[in-house]
Structure 1
């Protein structure tokens, strides 16, 4: 196992980087659930990445804003996810996870543990489906970490709405959520994927300036993509 960093540190730079994150998380969740594993605590603190390629000179394991010698800031040497062709994301910390086999007498669990206390059904008294907790937690993560902050991630809204329904029975399974995401993913244009993240509180002038600064980079990437398709 490589030395990992939090999945959102450093933060994402464009729409495509977030889409790649969603691809891997949704596929990973479906993979776990298909094998009877409910994570039960898949919040942002338990989603990490192998950022080795982004830090060609490495980073200190504790003072992770610095190079391994702890004297030089790592900022000037960091490459983006896009520059290194993407990174691999991991679910970690299975301390409260449940394994439920197909022949188990019940799929329900008890417990209030988990970082995301927004999950409405958590209880020490009323049993609940831990797989639907994972669905809510990931949907809530997409909402809090991405959707609430950026205006050009509206495509996440339908999936978030389904995954965070108050009634667990109305939420999709991981396989259904993955199919929904795959359908959404196909409708996102390459140009949209290349574009920078636009903050919801971004002023009009600031937005125009930032778009103008980003346009040359996006244009180069767009042309490279078009050429690669020939």
Structure 2
């Protein structure tokens, strides 16, 4: 088995496959690795007639602390994974745990993604309180391809998909997201791709009649929202460090810069996430301040109106998304601020229902 049957670079793995993904399925790139993973106790998920992958057997997923189910979902449809890019592939371990396998480096030189995961998500640091980086369960290497074995988390965005039961519940989600970014920055890792889809959770159950989503219920139903996140150790994880930039401890802050968008146009494909204003200027900019802007934009795209709940929270988010980078707080300052704002709210305010708003077409 030779690695030459795989693309020779991360760019090739991430090449656009639509609309011909059925003729060029991402799963095909993993065929040469099937025997290697079986030898390491992992069976890759199998392909279907579409771009979806399904588990390799009918066993229920073994408990692993990374997937909590709502009782209504225990007999739901089988899990599936939309496989559009070949740098990822889910697998199932011998003992029935589901994992996500990610190719993080091809070649002898470590990628910034690998360095970020080694610094944030490996060993004891992966379990540090306040660290929300998706943990690396195992590192594997075949020839010159390095794999990170990660937990299989939720496939739906946890930050704005299910209604919050009260304002305190919402604050918990926002605080976890800021904690995630602050911890990265404390280790001198800039994520550079902070959008809602890169925050996943350990709630594996989907929409049910008892826990409908924000997008298919009306105002009357929202008033009857039942507890969800408070019923289990709900945790948000930050994923996808492929665009990360890592700096050495003690490095000059003046060197913590980049120029342009995280990904320039390649083969007609452009970076489609919200970009801080300075990313489109022909000048170096501080990558940590750009992270804060993207995180603030994540908050603004949630289906909630912040000002009626807390004018201080609305002001903080406005500062995070300020046009001028110097006007933005650092991630640590934002974390301290949201904790202080939450502490100043009365019990009545924390127990109140969040103020929801409709999502505009361009916000999806």
Report the TM-score when normalising by structure 2. Answer: 0.45
Q: CA deviation at 1:76?
A: 4.0
What are the ranges of 5 or more consecutive residues in structure 1 without an aligned counterpart? 56-63, 66-73, 202-230
Larger radius of gyration: 2
**1:148-167 residue pairs with structure 2 within 5 A?**
148=305, 151-167=308-324
Q: 1:83 to 1:22 in 2, by over 3 A?
A: closer
Establish whether residue 81 from structure 1 lines up as the match of residue 228 from structure 2: yes
Establish whether residue 140 from structure 1 lines up as the match of residue 297 from structure 2: yes
Equivalent position SS for 2:242: coil
Contact kept? 2:201, 2:235, Cα under 8 Å: yes
After TM superposition, the structure 1 stretch with the greater mean CA deviation from structure 2, 33-42 or 134-143, is: 134-143
Q: CA deviation at 1:103?
A: 4.2
Establish whether residue 188 from structure 1 lines up as the match of residue 348 from structure 2: no
Which position in structure 1 is the counterpart of 2:178? 26
Please give the per-residue CA displacement for 1:156-210, whole angstroms capped at 9, x wherever unaligned: 1121122111111221111111121121111112222222123368xxxxxxxxx
**1:189-204 residue pairs with structure 2 within 5 A?**
189-199=346-356
Which position in structure 2 is the counterpart of 1:38? 190
Contact kept? 2:200, 2:236, Cα under 8 Å: yes
Q: CA deviation at 1:154?
A: 3.2
Contact kept? 2:306, 2:314, Cα under 8 Å: no
Distance 1:51 1:200 in 2: 24
Contact kept? 2:304, 2:355, Cα under 8 Å: no
Q: CA deviation at 1:143?
A: 2.1
Q: 1:174 to 1:40 in 2, by over 3 A?
A: same
Establish whether residue 179 from structure 1 lines up as the match of residue 336 from structure 2: yes
Distance 1:175 1:195 in 2: 27
Which position in structure 2 is the counterpart of 1:3? 153
- Structure with more of its chain in helix, by fraction: 1
Contact kept? 1:15, 1:153, Cα under 8 Å: no
Equivalent position SS for 2:278: coil
Q: CA RMSD in A?
A: 2.6
What are the ranges of 5 or more consecutive residues in structure 2 without an aligned counterpart? 1-150, 213-225, 263-270, 359-364
Contact kept? 2:203, 2:234, Cα under 8 Å: yes
Which position in structure 2 is the counterpart of 1:112? 261
Equivalent position SS for 2:283: strand
Q: CA deviation at 1:19?
A: 0.5
Q: 1:188 to 1:180 in 2, by over 3 A?
A: same
After TM superposition, the structure 1 stretch with the greater mean CA deviation from structure 2, 117-126 or 165-174, is: 117-126
Q: 1:192 to 1:170 in 2, by over 3 A?
A: same
Contact kept? 1:110, 1:125, Cα under 8 Å: yes
Pick 1 or 2: higher relative contact order, CA cutoff 8 A, min separation 6: 1
Contact kept? 2:157, 2:196, Cα under 8 Å: yes
Report the TM-score when normalising by structure 1. Answer: 0.69
